[in-house]
Amino acid sequence: MAAIQDILQVEAIETDIYRGPSFPSHLQRTFGGQVAGQALVSAVRTVSDEFHVHSLHGYFLRPGDPDRPAVFLVDRIRDGRSFVTRRVTGVQQGEAIFTMSASFHVPTDTGVEHQDRMPPAPQPHELPDRLAEATEEELAPFREWEKFDIRIVPPERLVRSNYFAAQQRVWFRYREPLPDNQVFHVGTLAYMSDMTLLGSARVPHPGVEPQIASLDHAMWFLRPFRADEWLLYDQTSPSADAGRALTQGRIFDLQGRMVAAVTQEGLARTGRDVPADQHARRPK
């Protein structure tokens, strides 16, 4: 797998037009987190340093070709004193594959402060590193993401709430040190946030292998963080119906600070033939 710094290193090819690099991949479709991360960094490149991204809303329109670079067209929707808005369209071969709106805010504003408590979970060092213990066959689906340390809390150690239909908790981090520039950490978290989240919708349905694909993705960046340090992804799937599953996630750092929130709807369709590589598309 390429380093995340290289994946996020979009190239300026014209004013407000960027090219996201492609890398050798085992996937038939470009990983959604890669498209979202490159689109976000493209938007960041058009915004002054005093503004920090606080939210994004994206739609996956068509499958991306992992062997081709994507071009990202940035529209400068609004430049205000406290907020800046950008719209980004990812294009391959003349067709839009992804669209995103991103909002940026000056972090010097003050106001009320509160957050949910971090849910209980075993510490990441108490859980096995699947790359260290898995067989070659078990490792195959994860080679695409081997630079990410992903540790799913096993069901027998999960503290559940009876009010949620589906719950899952995952520790994750990028395995190698990242530059201090927060852009790399925000882009890396956007990439990582597409990992495992749709898997939470499968928790109440053991043995069922639906066709899965990201349909849309929304994130809110709440507090500064480092993506090369452990983050707990607290995931739920409050509803699944008509071949779609809604999933939500809250992301906490080791100090218990909520640093981001995610909502994603994905395809969760059964009754159709599933492509052979379907279940290797993302860690779950």
Burial class (CB in 10 A: 0-12, 13-18, 19+), 131: middle
Instruction: Give the closest residue to 146 by CA, choosing from 163, 129, 170, 121.
Output: 129
Assigned token pair, 102: 């991103």
CA-to-CA distance for 49 and 161, rounded, in angstroms?
Answer: 41
Query: Helix, strand, coil proportions of the chain in percent (round to 5)?
Result: 20, 35, 45
Do 259 and 225 touch, CB atoms closer than 8 A? Answer: yes
Instruction: Please count the other Cβ atoms lying within 10 Å of the Cβ belonging to residue 166.
Output: 20
Assigned token pair, 277: 């590589």
Q: Which residues pair with 167 in a beta bridge?
A: 236
Catalytic residues: 194, 214, 264
Assigned token pair, 280: 């290797």
Assigned token pair, 268: 């969760």
